[in-house]
């Protein structure tokens, strides 16, 4: 019989750790948190130093009983929940329930789940860190004070079932503010002039730069005409050639927010999906003969710090795989943000020797894609800088300057392994200019003026929103994914083409909160509150005093809102559709995945329908139905026949309302990585560029 009990959060983690510790240890899972504030009441005594009333979470009674029964049979108990505030709180709650002495070293933490790391951690157990516990407790109570005071107001004044959250509300306001920016945006006209030139038979392009050294913007067709008139008939002479060598450093290894952003850009993963798969990679994957191993370090972190042992292993691997020139002579350090806690290392593979190809047979497709991203990013972060030769050429035409720029990779360095993506989808271009000398005259082939208009700021994608939250110090690594999920579940925002759009309900709720609780929506206030929670964690602030400072101002606002907040009626938009079940008119509703149709007779009639978007294309299979947009269970867009299930035609590519000029078959828009969107025939080899 084992004489030591180890308690972790998840069965997967328990299974991995049990293999490392051997038969003297019993490893069990608490299945996450075991105690929390009650859902039916506030559960916080504001008159008694915010004393929380914790109860056993529904469904956890059997888990706790099993843990208590096992605890009676062992001599020693260790609590090995995750190494963060939530993990520390879970350990503390378990200690309270099992009657453990918290002044004893019963807490074990490790940043990665490998045999070496786990065994080393058990050699150095520590006491439960009450500063960490109090920081988690303060956040939980703070969120409860906000939610359980504002939510009942929203139920009375707007609609039952609504709720307000501290971090969620400021996030929704950011999405609304961006939408208002877009609506108020006034496009500004501007022009570019591109000259297509020949230098000894080799082509290059140069853009209008200005007059002399100063860059000049062109704002109208009249200005374009004046410039074209000034250069007409004059030679294009090379005035200045500037050559430079530029060094480019790699991106740092991942932290939680940058992993979420890059997985969205490169893998098209939602934030919640990224964290779910990262958790699996952290907790352990069965690698056959090698047993179960945690493949990555802890995935909730805001630090880019890397251990010296990991740096050394990476250096050896890089030297052997790519050569000494690609390895760093001295370890590279990355700057950290002011809000970073630096409690854990960056997200990295637990061993660079476990290459993506080596572990490929044991991972699912998505696990492999995310692991490859983490592995490549880390290896690249430990490699030498890339060296680029850049060339800038000023070409003068009767006092007008055109400029051509080019670059070529002289030494790829880290770029051999990985290059960071960008939010705007821009790609690194390697434009090589022909050899040019000052005084050289170039031959003009064509001059192309183009009209443009400035674009409004884009709506937030998940990646861009996470980045903005991080930059403003709102939330922490563990809160990004649940925050984005919650604001969608509550119907305050919807996803349209993978971008956040506020709903009418969201705008109404935020306008009421703005009127009566402006500090809740203030970015600086929310950021300062996060900083205060960090101070509690560091032992530099008293959690009760932090809550007191907030509640003293907040409580009178709640009382004022009870008196002054007026009721708001949200009228449903009536559609032209008639309910199939009862004949009433159907209305538009907004759910988690966007708009849908619902019967106006709800709750007597609960009939709902998806909103059908037609492509205007007749089904090529049955010739009777129309091709309409549909969504798969995983919310992927596809196109099917309106006569489904009688006709099972479907296409992942969007049909367009005209037929192939060669064979009269259906044309579709096909997205290709290099060429972009192209129109192709479904039957023959006809293809054309899609309208941009």
In the 3-class helix/strand/coil scheme, how is 651-683 assigned residue by residue?
Answer: ECCEEEEEECCCCCCEEEEEEECCCEEEEEECC
Structure tokens at 226: 């004046």
Residue 56 CA to chain centroid, in angstroms?
A: 33
Q: 25, 78, 298, 326: which one is catalytic?
A: 298
DSSP tag of 110: -
Backbone torsions φ then ψ of 653, nearest 5 degrees: -95, 145
Q: Which residue has the tokens 């927010």?
A: 257
Contacts 24+ apart (CB under 8 A), 160-163: 162/490, 162/505, 162/509, 163/490
CA atoms within 13 A on the CB side of 520: 30
Residue 170 CA to chain centroid, in angstroms?
A: 17
- Quote the CA–CA distance of 382 and 414 in Å, as a whole number: 8
For 441, residues 6+ apart whose C-beta sits below 8 A from its C-beta are 235, 236, 237, 238
Alpha-carbon distances, residue 672 vs 118, 629, 630, 678 (angstroms): 46, 20, 21, 7
**Known active-site residue 362:** no
- Quote the CA–CA distance of 175 and 457 in Å, as a whole number: 12
CA atoms within 13 A on the CB side of 640: 14
What sign for the dihedral angle of Cα 465, 466, 470, 471? negative
- What does 502-571 look like in DSSP terms, one character per residue? E-HHHHHHHHHHHHH-GGGG-HHHHHHHHHHHHHHHTTSS-HHHHHHHHHHHHHHHHHHHHHHPPP---P
Structure tokens at 128: 């439960």
Give catalytic residues, as residue numbers: 298
């Amino acid at each position: 019989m084992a004489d030591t009990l180890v308690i972790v959060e998840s069965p997967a983690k328990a299974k991995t750790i049990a293999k490392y510790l051997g038969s003297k240890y019993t490893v069990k899972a608490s299945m996450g948190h075991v105690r929390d504030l009650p859902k039916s009441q506030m559960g916080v005594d504001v008159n008694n130093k915010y004393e929380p009333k914790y109860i056993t979470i529904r469904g956890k009674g059997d888990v706790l009983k099993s843990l208590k029964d096992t605890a009676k049979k062992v001599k020693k108990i260790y609590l090995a929940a995750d190494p963060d505030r939530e993990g520390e709180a879970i350990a503390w709650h378990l200690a309270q329930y099992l009657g453990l002495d918290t002044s004893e070293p019963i807490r074990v933490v490790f940043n990665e789940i490998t045999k070496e790391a786990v065994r080393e951690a058990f050699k150095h157990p520590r006491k439960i860190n009450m500063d960490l516990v109090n920081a988690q407790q303060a956040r939980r109570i703070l969120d409860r004070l906000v939610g359980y005071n504002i939510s009942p107001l929203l139920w009375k004044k707007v609609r039952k079932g609504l709720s307000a959250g501290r971090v969620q509300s400021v996030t929704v306001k950011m999405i609304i503010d961006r939408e208002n920016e877009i609506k108020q945006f006034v496009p500004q006209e501007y022009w570019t002039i591109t000259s297509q030139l020949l230098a000894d038979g080799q082509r290059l392009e140069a853009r209008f730069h200005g007059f002399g050294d100063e860059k000049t913007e062109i704002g109208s067709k009249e200005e374009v005409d004046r410039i074209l008139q000034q250069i007409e008939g004059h030679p294009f002479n090379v005035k200045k050639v500037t050559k430079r060598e530029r060094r480019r450093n790699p991106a740092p290894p991942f932290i939680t927010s940058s992993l979420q952003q890059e997985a969205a850009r490169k893998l098209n993963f939602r934030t919640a999906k990224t964290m779910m798969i990262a958790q699996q990679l952290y907790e352990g994957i069965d690698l056959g003969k090698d047993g179960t191993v945690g493949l990555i370090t802890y995935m909730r972190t805001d630090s880019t710090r890397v251990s010296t042992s990991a740096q050394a292993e990476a250096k050896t691997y890089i030297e052997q795989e790519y050569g000494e020139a690609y390895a760093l002579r001295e370890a590279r350090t990355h700057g950290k943000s002011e809000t970073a806690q630096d409690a854990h290392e960056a997200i990295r593979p637990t061993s660079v020797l476990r290459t993506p190809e080596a572990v490929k047979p044991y991972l699912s497709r998505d696990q492999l894609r995310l692991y490859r991203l983490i592995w490549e990013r880390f290896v690249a972060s430990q490699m030498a800088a890339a060296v680029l030769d850049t060339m800038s050429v000023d070409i003068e035409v009767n006092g007008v300057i055109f400029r051509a720029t080019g670059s070529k990779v002289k030494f790829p360095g880290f770029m051999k392994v990985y290059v960071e993506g960008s939010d705007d989808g821009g790609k690194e271009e390697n434009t090589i200019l022909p050899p040019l000398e000052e005084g050289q005259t170039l031959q003009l082939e064509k001059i192309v003026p183009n009209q443009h208009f400035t674009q409004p700021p884009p709506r937030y994608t998940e990646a861009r929103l996470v980045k903005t939250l991080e930059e403003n110090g709102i939330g922490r690594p563990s809160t990004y994914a649940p925050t984005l999920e919650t604001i969608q579940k509550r119907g305050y925002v919807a996803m349209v083409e993978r971008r956040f759009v506020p709903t009418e309900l969201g705008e109404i709720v935020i306008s009421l909160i703005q009127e009566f609780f402006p500090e809740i929506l203030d970015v600086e206030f929310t950021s300062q509150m996060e900083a205060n929670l960090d101070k509690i964690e560091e032992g530099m602030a008293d959690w009760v005093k932090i809550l007191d400072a907030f509640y003293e101002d907040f409580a009178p606002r709640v009382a004022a809102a009870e008196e002054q907040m007026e009721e708001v009626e949200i009228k449903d938009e009536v559609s032209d559709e008639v309910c199939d079940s009862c004949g009433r008119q159907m209305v538009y509703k907004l759910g988690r995945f966007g708009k849908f149709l619902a019967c106006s007779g709800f709750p007597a009639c609960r009939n709902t329908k998806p909103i059908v978007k037609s492509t205007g294309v007749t089904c090529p299979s049955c010739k009777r139905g129309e091709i309409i947009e549909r969504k798969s269970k995983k919310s992927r867009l596809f196109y099917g026949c309106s006569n489904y299930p009688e006709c099972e035609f479907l296409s992942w590519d969007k049909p367009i309302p005209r037929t192939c000029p060669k064979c009269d078959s259906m044309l579709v828009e096909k997205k290709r990585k290099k060429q972009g969107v192209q129109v192709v025939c479904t039957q023959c080899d006809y293809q054309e560029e899609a309208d941009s």
